Amino acid sequence: MAETFGSAAALLSLRSPDHPVVCIRPHLIEERARRVVGAFPGDVLYAVKCNDTPVVLEALWRGGVRHFDTASIGEVRLVKRLLPRASCHFMHPVKSAEAIAEAYHEHGVRRFAFDHEDELAKILAATDNARDLELFLRLAVPGQGSLLSLTGKFGVAGEEGVRLLRRARTVAAAVGLTFHVGSQCLDPEAFARAIAIAAEVAHAAGGVDHLDVGGGFPARYRGDEPPFEAFVRRIQGAVFAHRLDCALQCEPGRLLVADGASVLARVELRRDQALYINDGVYGNLAELKWIGPLFPIRLVRPSGVVTGERAAFDLFGPTCDSIDSMPGPHWIVREVKEGDWLEVGMMGAYSNALRTRFNGFASSEIAILRDPGWYRPQADLAPALAA
């Protein structure tokens, strides 16, 4: 069981850690989940790959999330062990036959994604040609508007999509279409473009029962990213414009948990404007490299938060690998020195979920914090404070 503290400074004062700590704020995750579930006109599936920490999954459940986008049999097992009444949906388009069989026969999974005729045949064989399957065809859509494009690995288009959807209709209790516009999407129009593609396939194949608009909804790292409600309005408008009469679902990950955690990392060396810290790309901070210097960072000591003039720094992780670098500008209080702690905010998504044991750096400590989340945009702070 993770220990609970009132703040990061209190944690440092009482524990004096010598390794990174992931600081989870379950009350913020719960509040965010309520807001997202209340705003979306359909089922909200949490993308478990984003952060599968049990305390995170339990907070999402308390916030009203009842459906989970699981990409492996390991994720299915975890969710069903922690939350037996949860619905798991196997939305990875490529799965092993053994994983499909266990998911269907042992865990009650009925909703499966595919994007190839051999995968469809595999699903049917592994479920003994079950007649209660809900099959979702993954479509290829453009990735413009997202910081991390997810095009190229999954998805079909055009006539092939129509053919596969028609085939699925003959063997499934219900059929759907799904897509993913890319991670940290900043443009609601990306969803409208993808829905237009889905509508063309759906109408040509005789309609669908479900439309899964995927994930990619942005976390508000800077505070000027469009709010979730703006994406919902555009999605609803596009569905209406293209005359799609079907149930909706979405698969947010980052949106639901990003502002629910921070990471504490200690400065081991300062070399001019370069800070060498005890966490990095192979640990909890991979997104500081792959997404860039969007994350709010503050200087914390056991005595409290240090404020003052800020300067631009580059960050380097603890391993011997030169890839373990997080180029700036990361804006940090200028007086930072060896032994100080950096608290990186907005680190609930793809932080400890991506952590490795590379080079022997394998800290997995988690703490619970009860503060309101200093890094959240002012517009998002009010609900948490009221709660």
62: phi then psi, degrees, rounded to nearest 5: -65, -30
The model's pTM: 0.94
Query: What percent of the chain has pLDDT above 90?
Result: 90
Mean pLDDT over all residues of the chain?
94
- Tell whether omega for the bond before 188 is within 30 degrees of 0, i.e. cis: no
pLDDT one-digit tens code per residue, 13-63? 999 999 999 999 999 999 999 999 999 999 999 999 999 999 999 999 999
Looking at the predicted structure, is the pLDDT value of residue 387 above 60? no
Identify the residue whose tokens are 């400590």.
365
Q: Express each pLDDT in 337-381 by its tens digit.
A: 999 999 999 999 999 999 999 999 987 899 999 999 999 976 565
What is the number of helices (H) and of strands (E) in the chain? 12, 20
Distance separating alpha carbons of residues 291 and 193, to the nearest angstrom: 23
Q: Which domains does the chain have, with CATH numbers?
A: 4-23+258-386 (2.40.37.10), 27-257 (3.20.20.10)
Give the pLDDT confidence score for residue 337 in this predicted structure: 98
What is the residue type of 301?
Answer: R
Three-state DSSP state, 149: coil
Q: Residue 33 to residues 43, 51, 105, 266, 315: CA-CA distances in angstroms?
A: 12, 14, 30, 31, 32
* 3-state DSSP assignment of residue 176: strand
Structure confidence at residue 87 as a pLDDT band (50, 70, 90): very high
**Confidence band of 7 (pLDDT split at 50, 70, 90):** very high
Amino acid at 284: N
Average pLDDT for residues 166-194, to the nearest whole number? 96
The answer to whether residue 209 scores a pLDDT higher than 80 is yes
DSSP bridge pairs for 220: none
pLDDT band with cut points at 50, 70 and 90 for residue 185: very high
User: Tell me, what's the pLDDT at 378?
Assistant: 61
Average of per-residue pLDDT across 251-278: 97
**Model confidence pLDDT, tens digit, residues 123-146:** 999 999 999 999 999 999 987 888
In this prediction, residues 247-251 reach a mean pLDDT of 97
Residue 86 has pLDDT above 80, yes or no: yes
Q: Stretch 260-265: mean pLDDT, rounded?
A: 97
Alpha helix segments (H runs only) across the chain = 8-15, 26-39, 54-62, 73-82, 97-107, 117-126, 158-169, 189-205, 228-241, 254-257, 287-290, 378-386
Tell me 189's DSSP state.
H
Tokens 């995170």 belong to: 56
pLDDT of residue 194: 96
Report the pLDDT averaged over residues 150-164.
90
Q: Find the mean pLDDT for residues 90-99.
A: 97
Q: How confident is the model at residue 384 (pLDDT cuts 50, 70, 90)?
A: very low
pLDDT tens, position by position, 276-300: 999 999 999 999 999 899 999 999 9
Q: Is the pLDDT of residue 212 over 70?
A: yes
3-state per-residue secondary structure call for 313-365:
EEEECCCCCCCCEEEEEEEEECCCCCCCEEEECCCCCCCHHHCCCHHHCCCCC
As a whole number, mean pLDDT of residues 312-331 equals: 97
CA distance 74 to 10: 35
29/257 Cα distance (integer angstroms): 6
Residue matched to tokens 């990392």: 265
Place of tokens 């909200």: 44
Question: How crowded is residue 302: how many other Cβ atoms within 10 Å of its Cβ?
Answer: 14
* C-alpha to C-alpha distance for 247 and 139, rounded to whole angstroms: 17
Percent of the chain whose pLDDT exceeds 70: 97
pLDDT at position 381 = 52
- pLDDT for res 385: 38
